[in-house]
Structure 1
């Protein structure tokens, strides 16, 4: 069943505890199919295999990043009000781009991403740079719904460990993206079908592996930022709820009861 745009208290508590919510069938076919066909056409007509590493590290179909059919997956579906409710009453920066990630089929020679959080100590960034955000929303465009088909793997509750890591162990400019106890975990596979979505706190560690299925796994991701994120970004690494003022009380309640 689709996740309601008006989240229940239990949904909010799940997000506070896990840092993740999954919505089944949240994207209607009228939005899903045009976006999927757009990416499929790009793969057939414009994909350059010599740029596979760059695509994997950043985005496939970079020239489509601002296409209305891709942005509509977020702006015109139940995904936008869902995210708005999680961040309420904080304003967000208007969404301008989508990221497309494709895990090629049949175990293609594609780099395997280890557990990480985005925008911190990334190999393609200067070590001192931060390119973080508040929340990521992912839409499954196509692919098999099995854990070994290039699925995203995430660590429920890992945002709490990562906040401690950034507060106590990490220094800006170091190469390690996660502590050893996080890096060696496999995480939970997102076994999802086209039209399903995942909404994930920026601090939740995640990775993606090889696609052993015969079909590509295609995801559209949207990075959502608090309107004041440039000022709050470094502090938000150690305070998971700094940019989620409406959830701060629930998070404090969880800490008190644990």
Structure 2
């Protein structure tokens, strides 16, 4: 929506006429006074000035202004949102550069120098071919320990809030509440934007990523002791007479993300998961995938789109076309903190049981290129809007 160098005018503020935007890793922006040394900020007491630096009070998330024209935006202050739990918005508009040539000229200022890009990790031809063939790819140690620890700290701080740690999501299920559950937490978004992960995704997708990216915190809690059954390798525990171990998930207990929320079943292109905890063995809450089955699932989605609405019960989004996957075809993805797993949106998957004594921590990002059109995706090829293609 805003690029570095874009000009912005506040709708009702006498502080300054025009501000120059700088896009930061994670998607927030700072807005500099072209004729001063500071950035726009909303202070903790609510007053506005242009004496800000680069902290939360001077950073903003950008949204379209509801019912406004294409240049009308609103700025959500990050500091108030993250530290006070308040949504403080400023109304603004994007100004064409030719209307303010002086403001659009760059001002050399060390305080507003761009944040260095994270180091690049280039995918090899073999890795790209493996992704195309299997529908998923695991990359080791992509996200640094500092970023992993910051995300864990934010999540665990929220878990420590007791009953206030949780709130219902749009489906009525529980999700983490507060700033960390808002999908705008800088500690969570930095896993993607301040690491090589974003650049890796852009090597697979056709063009720059859509800016509408949030991070889903996915926790998998341990099973109770009497449901564990055989413990993971290297673990021992006493068995009890009345144990009723929970069986592994069946071969039909898979899904693709978004299949129940819209008719096209194609809300995004690439699932990118960042591991925050060790899953070195099976049954630690691992992501389970069915390698090579993304093409068959994509064909089934196309058949479902073509089937008449009355072809099956209203509850069957597949309209009788849900594919049967090979028996024993699932693979549990083993990860360590900082590892990244990439999966095509059409790759069938599920979440494995957690028979370990530890919480499984993972964060998922659902990514698309800016040119991707979800409603048309099912009608097109499996690799349209990708940089990679069928072998």
Give TM-score, length-normalised by structure 1.
Answer: 0.80
Query: Is residue 100 from structure 1 mapped to residue 235 from structure 2 by the alignment?
Result: no
2-side partners of 1:106 and 1:30: how far apart? 29
Any idea what the Cα deviations from partners look like across 1:204-238, whole Å, max 9, x if unmatched?
01001321110000110001012133x34443465
Greater relative CO (CA pairs within 8 A, separation 6+):
1
| Residue of structure 1 aligned with 2:285, choices 139, 142, 150 | 150
Could you tell me whether the CA contact under 8 Å between 1:119 and 1:132 is conserved in 2? yes
CA RMSD of aligned residues (A): 3.2
How many residue pairs are counted as aligned between the two chains? 239
Query: Is residue 20 from structure 1 mapped to residue 136 from structure 2 by the alignment?
Result: yes
User: Secondary structure in 2 aligned to 1:25?
Assistant: coil
Shift of 1:182: 2.5
2-side partners of 1:239 and 1:62: how far apart? 39
| Residue of structure 2 aligned with 1:79, choices 194, 197, 200 | 197
User: Secondary structure in 2 aligned to 1:247?
Assistant: coil
Q: Higher Cα Rg: structure 1 or 2?
A: 2
Could you tell me whether the CA contact under 8 Å between 1:107 and 1:210 is conserved in 2? no
Give TM-score, length-normalised by structure 2.
Answer: 0.54
Any idea what the Cα deviations from partners look like across 1:124-149, whole Å, max 9, x if unmatched?
x3x64756101010001124422201
Match of 2:258? 119
Match of 1:159? 294
User: Secondary structure in 2 aligned to 1:153?
Assistant: strand
Could you tell me whether the CA contact under 8 Å between 1:236 and 1:243 is conserved in 2? no
Residue ranges of structure 2 left out of the alignment (5+ in a row): 1-119, 228-248
Could you tell me whether the CA contact under 8 Å between 2:296 and 2:323 is conserved in 1? no
Could you tell me whether the CA contact under 8 Å between 1:116 and 1:183 is conserved in 2? no
Greater helix fraction, Structure 1 or Structure 2: 1
Could you tell me whether the CA contact under 8 Å between 2:165 and 2:176 is conserved in 1? no
Greater strand fraction, Structure 1 or Structure 2: 2
Residue ranges of structure 1 left out of the alignment (5+ in a row): none
Match of 2:353? 210
2-side partners of 1:145 and 1:52: how far apart? 31
